[in-house]
Amino acid sequence: MFAMGGDRIEEAVEHAAKVLRGVAGQDWSVPAGGLDWSCLKTAEHIVGDFVAYACQLTSRAADAYVPFGAVLDEGTGPEGAIDAVEATGRLLAAAVRTTPRGVRAFHPYPAGSADAAGFAAMGIAEVLLHTYDIACVLGVDAEPPAELCEDLLAHLFAHVPPAPAGSTPWATLLWATGRGTLPGRARLARWRWHNTYALPAGPVALREVTPAAAADLAMGGTGGLTWLDGAPFEGTRRAAEMVTKAYAAGVHRPEWGMFALVRTDDELAVGGMGFHGPPDEEGCAEVGYDLVPGARGRGYATQALRALSAWALTRPELTSLLAVVEPDNTASQAVAQAAGYIRQADRTPNHAYALHRP
């Protein structure tokens, strides 16, 4: 399952409540593992995050956090705190379920906003990890279901190589958040998660595809999208397979993967666009793109390629972009040229077009 939604939030909250009720009779005034907060304060933090994320979505906050927070009543004990975690977790689940596709709200990292799936994933990460912080100091196990950890890693930590042989997704999640060790990997002193990017491009938007959604596309699924013409074109599935293989090999870098082109007026996916991987040693990255037949001839690909190229060329590691097109694909050649790419020496048998940083 690749979707981060209300059901996954409730699964994570149910797991957390079960773990925490097992230690509700202990002393929650002690510091939680690895934190300056007490166990009770850590539970309050989970509650505050759930409410904040729900309010970001329901308010459609564009450039700041909604200016209020949630705290436990004075005198609340562990049982009351667990009740509040459950209640506010369900609140976030409801907000996620009722947020229309395409809606994004402010969150600072890395793109300044997140969609409903992103806020769901962040809420799941908060409750799983902080339940662990409480449980480890109180002497109980807090390991969640493996599939939930796998899906969370693929959505929010796509830059982290998957679990090595002999390890588990939970151990990888703990390592990725500075809470554990893995064989062959240095312990992390600092870490961040990655919310997907969304780039406006006139009548369409480029929306970053997670490794989990890419795997579904590669296997013949929809990637969680509703497609014009009912399904993506062949090139989009090939690109999704490239992302899937790169993620499995531990070399995927989220920004340099795949984006779906989604028409903003009806939320129908009309194509795919992205990179064949991160920039090479000379700072060059190769781009690729396609549209479903029903979306061609409307300028979608040209506007999307202009937007993606302008964004990519702000990245310090990139100096140029390359598009390699088959000789008989005149439509794709026209897209590259309309987006400002200049014909280069052929990459036999294909034509090559490049765009350089000004």
Label residue 166 by pLDDT band (50, 70, 90).
confident
Q: Which SS3 state, helix, strand or coil, does residue 227 take?
A: strand
Residues 59 and 111 in one domain: yes
Say if 188 falls within a structural domain: no
pTM: 0.95
Say if 193 falls within a structural domain: no
Residues 220 and 333 in one domain: yes
Residues 167 and 217 in one domain: no
Say if 189 falls within a structural domain: no
Residues 160 and 203 in one domain: no
Peptide bond into 110 cis (omega under 30): yes
Q: Which residue has the tokens 């013409």?
A: 229
Tens-place pLDDT, residues 105-125 = 999 988 899 999 999 999 999
Check which CATH number belongs to the domain holding 296 and give it: 3.40.630.30
Tens-place pLDDT, residues 88-98 = 999 999 999 99
Residues 22 and 164 in one domain: yes
Identify the domain boundary among 142, 176, 210.
176
Say if 147 falls within a structural domain: yes
Say if 236 falls within a structural domain: yes
Least confident of 45-54, 157-166, 193-202, 301-310: 157-166
Residues 216 and 345 in one domain: yes
Q: Which residue has the tokens 């304060």?
A: 41
Q: How many domains does the chain have?
A: 2
Res. 156: pLDDT tops 70: yes
Residues 105 and 226 in one domain: no
Check which CATH number belongs to the domain holding 172 and give it: 1.20.120.450
Say if 191 falls within a structural domain: no
Res. 279: pLDDT tops 80: yes
CA distance 68 to 64: 11
pLDDT at 14: 98
Burial state string for 165-188 with b = 16 or more CB within 10 A and e = fewer than 16: eebebbbbbbbbbebbebeeeeeb
Higher pLDDT, 3 or 22: 22
Q: Which two tokens stand for residue 163?
A: 């679990």
Residues 31 and 148 in one domain: yes
In what order do the strands lie in the sheet containing 268-275? 198-201, 204-208, 258-263, 268-275, 284-291, 320-325, 351-356, 342-343
Average pLDDT value over all residues in the chain: 96
Residues 221 and 287 in one domain: yes
Q: Which residue has the tokens 């009351």?
A: 80
Say if 81 falls within a structural domain: yes
Distances (CA, A) of 194 to 30, 119, 157, 197: 31, 11, 6, 9
Residues 209 and 167 in one domain: no
Closest CA to 108 of 193, 50, 3: 193
Closest CA to 324 of 347, 355, 340: 347
Residue-number span of the structural domain to which 254 is assigned: 198-356
Label residue 2 by pLDDT band (50, 70, 90).
low
Q: Which residues pair with 204 in a beta bridge?
A: 201, 263
Give the residue-averaged pLDDT of 98-102: 95
% of the chain surpassing 70 pLDDT: 99
Say if 52 falls within a structural domain: yes
Residues 24 and 170 in one domain: yes
CA distance 301 to 236: 13
Residues 118 and 24 in one domain: yes
CA distance 272 to 212: 16
